[in-house]
Structure 1
């Protein structure tokens, strides 16, 4: 058996041995695309190894959530795509003999009470412990895949699970710089070898499998082109002027329907159009990227393309139907897929309405960050996505991070923060911002440098903003 991430192989083997020796396991995972794929990878690995297990999902892993997991009364608790930031509480339960913990995560480990580092447990598999960037080089699904490969019984090959690991990484926005990098590349290579993944250079627009060509261009937020982006008639006019037959029986074709030569013609014309409208060359070059498709899924469906698959999963989880997302990951179709599609339609409508609300209401400005409080107008499970979509929209700056608030309960606010790659390169780390600012107001938070979240008492919003603004200023040297 090869090691997809050699630096983590020894620790993965130790974690796998603990799971393989367990009488039973409770598998607990996060609910976003990365969490759902992590859960599916772990569930498949446990099943193939013949280990009895129970699966549960948590929207946010806190002390109450860990109490619920402990109450399931299994010998081992396997945490995937969370757990590193909650090691204090996990260790407390472990020391009480309620379970033995295995954590496969990629988030920043929480600092222990001594302030010198996270509590140590024997079975903690996190790329950050091996100098691998958990925000850009390996996701929670990737860490869980490394664990699943180490769990293989004789005669079992888990390389097909690389497809789920890649969905998780893309769902966690780890492909934003032209494709997956670092440790993720080793997982992609194994997926290609196993025949589960196809890796090709293609146009970088979302919806290649399912959107009619005019909609593909109109909704292309990845490359804003004057006269095409956000302009239905402009997109139709651009396509109609090309010397390519882009319709069949009067209906627009999709990108996936085009031949290689037809794709080249459209992409070349799109780049020329963008340059003529003043789009900077570095952005024009981003028209093409490394893309990933799933070889076993039907062409032209939202499950064929990794990006679209991850969106389907996000739609299920954010509407309290993680069970549906898990079923789709495990290969169930029919009713599960139909329900996922229904949730996706709802999700897209809510995102559109939420973004329009932010554009209409505008954002408030602090010295180093911008923010909005959606209250109950936007679901707390999608406010972070909308904050990311809002960056760079009319009236909203791209040179500052954005912080979004939404009502989580009568007494608490959900906080989501989003930045950009160039802000991170300048020193922004929203994981630290959310963690420290939340702790200062009796809340809790964490995440990644480019995207993070927190939960805080409602009455402490303004104090949180003051602290977050100060930390961002220090990080960016303003």
Structure 2
């Protein structure tokens, strides 16, 4: 068996050896799309290898969670999409052997079974996601009859959901996994219109809601999108209803893209943004055409909806191939998620966005769930009064329903930037970590998106520290 990421082969082998030897195994994973696909890959591979296991999900891996695992007397705990940053805490306990497949910045501690691209010089923010790390372990778990290359499709969903697409495509180790998925017949990677909703949204809605490359007269304007499409010489309807992008033939797609590019150029859209209209799309060939699961981006959004409303088990079931009731439940949660997001930008308008020298911020209080405030912050960038070229910080009250009465109240922080800001030197992971530490909190994440938890009442101090850190990064 050839390793999908040769640099990580030895680490993957050590992790797999420990997992096979486990008598009582717990799989613990993060709740976002990358965490759910990580768990789906790991759980499926463990089942195929005959390794019994339990699964739990956490919004955040902290000391309380690690203590619960230790008290439960598992001999091994397999951490996916988190664990590296908490190794200093994890290694304090000798009740279990930790196995970690993660891509976040590691803490200053060591353990024998630790797979992380950063330990081998690979970029964990753009070259390999948590799902990709789990996939490496899954391939090492293969026996004589097992072939886990079909799990590459889930690894790609995780990478896309973790915003690891760079200039329109997955790169580095992620690209190697894409190649394995294509070879296994579970993925198709091809150049196409790079907007969200190509499988499920009727064309007018698809174009009006496509905000990554704003086109005057179409983006955010349903009537404008209708007029644009009505003016094209192409077969865009079936039985009187608008087709989806997936329904169009090659000629129809070519006609729409050509007209979009011409409109963008004519209305003054930057040339680099025009080029971004077309990118690599990742299609899960085994899924039903026209479903959310067919497109990696739509699949990841569906998974995010399950976890953010405390239904991670539903997302895991879908990742493990269950359809029927789990998929119906996931779709219901997605509809709820979209309703929440639709009102979210209105909440931002109501509370207002404050501008500092290098960042902007808002505080949603209890008006938005902590699990979606980061998504809303990203959606708000470019709205009236929100500068799309400046990092945004969002605060929301933490859901501390499970906290002890003596615990200090906390505030959830979500931070969003843009790829262009990252190119200029922005690293929100470092900003979140530095600013949170300055106020007695904890933070981290990725260059373009990060998060933190800080004590209530220290938000202004966090903003000041983050503003200074971003200023230093962008001025260097």
TM-score by length of 1: 0.96
Q: Deviation of residue 458 (structure 1)?
A: 0.5
Q: Is the 8 A contact 1:167 1:307 kept in 2?
A: yes
Q: Is the 8 A contact 1:79 1:103 kept in 2?
A: yes
Q: Deviations over 1:171-229 (max 9, x none)?
A: 00111421101110110010011111111111111111110000000000122110000
Q: Deviations over 1:95-141 (max 9, x none)?
A: xx21000110001113xxxxxxx111111100011111111111000
Q: Is the 8 A contact 1:374 1:404 kept in 2?
A: yes
- Which of 196, 200, 207 is the equivalent residue of 1:206? 196
Q: Is the 8 A contact 1:438 1:444 kept in 2?
A: yes
Residue of structure 1 equivalent to 2:266: 276
> What secondary structure is seen at the aligned counterpart in 2 of 1:26?
strand
Q: Is the 8 A contact 2:370 2:399 kept in 1?
A: no
Q: Deviation of residue 477 (structure 1)?
A: 2.1
Q: Deviations over 1:11-63 (max 9, x none)?
A: 11111111111112100000000000000111011111111111000011111
Structure 2 distance, partners of 1:286, 1:278, is 15
Is it true that 1:475 corresponds to 2:473 in the alignment?
yes
Residue of structure 1 equivalent to 2:245: 255
Residue of structure 2 equivalent to 1:134: 124
- Which of 280, 301, 306 is the equivalent residue of 1:311? 301
Residue of structure 1 equivalent to 2:429: 431
> What secondary structure is seen at the aligned counterpart in 1 of 2:473?
helix
> What secondary structure is seen at the aligned counterpart in 1 of 2:457?
helix
Residue of structure 2 equivalent to 1:108: 105
Q: Deviations over 1:429-460 (max 9, x none)?
A: 11111112112212111111111101111021
> What secondary structure is seen at the aligned counterpart in 2 of 1:109?
coil
> What secondary structure is seen at the aligned counterpart in 1 of 2:281?
strand
The alignment covers a number of residue pairs equal to 468
Q: Is the 8 A contact 1:24 1:52 kept in 2?
A: yes
Q: Is the 8 A contact 1:25 1:75 kept in 2?
A: yes
> What secondary structure is seen at the aligned counterpart in 1 of 2:36?
helix
Structure 2 distance, partners of 1:245, 1:156, is 45
- Which of 290, 295, 304 is the equivalent residue of 2:285? 295
Structure 1 distance, partners of 2:425, 2:256, is 38
Q: Is the 8 A contact 1:415 1:454 kept in 2?
A: yes
Q: Is the 8 A contact 1:25 1:53 kept in 2?
A: yes
Structure 2 distance, partners of 1:15, 1:409, is 34
Q: Deviation of residue 417 (structure 1)?
A: 0.6
Residue of structure 1 equivalent to 2:8: 8
Moved more, 207-216 or 17-26: 17-26
Q: Is the 8 A contact 2:101 2:114 kept in 1?
A: yes
Is it true that 1:446 corresponds to 2:444 in the alignment?
yes
Is it true that 1:334 corresponds to 2:324 in the alignment?
yes
Q: Which structure 2 residues correspond to residues 393-472 of structure 1 after superposition, within 5 A?
A: 393-409=383-399, 411-472=409-470
Q: Which structure 2 residues correspond to residues 195-234 of structure 1 after superposition, within 5 A?
A: 195-234=185-224
Residue of structure 1 equivalent to 2:63: 63
Q: Is the 8 A contact 1:23 1:75 kept in 2?
A: yes
Structure 2 gaps, min length 5: 401-408
Moved more, 178-187 or 437-446: 437-446
Residue of structure 1 equivalent to 2:84: 84
Structure 2 distance, partners of 1:471, 1:175, is 25
Q: Deviation of residue 409 (structure 1)?
A: 4.2
Moved more, 15-24 or 99-108: 15-24
> What secondary structure is seen at the aligned counterpart in 1 of 2:282?
strand
The root-mean-square deviation of aligned C-alpha atoms, in Å, is: 1.1
> What secondary structure is seen at the aligned counterpart in 2 of 1:323?
helix
Is it true that 1:389 corresponds to 2:379 in the alignment?
yes
Structure 1 distance, partners of 2:460, 2:385, is 22
Q: Which structure 2 residues correspond to residues 7-46 of structure 1 after superposition, within 5 A?
A: 7-46=7-46
Moved over 6 A (4+): none
Q: Is the 8 A contact 1:26 1:72 kept in 2?
A: no
> What secondary structure is seen at the aligned counterpart in 2 of 1:384?
helix
Structure 1 distance, partners of 2:110, 2:33, is 28
Q: Is the 8 A contact 1:28 1:69 kept in 2?
A: no
TM-score by length of 2: 0.96
Q: Deviation of residue 359 (structure 1)?
A: 3.1
- Which of 370, 375, 383 is the equivalent residue of 1:380? 370
Structure 2 distance, partners of 1:436, 1:32, is 23
Residue of structure 2 equivalent to 1:184: 174
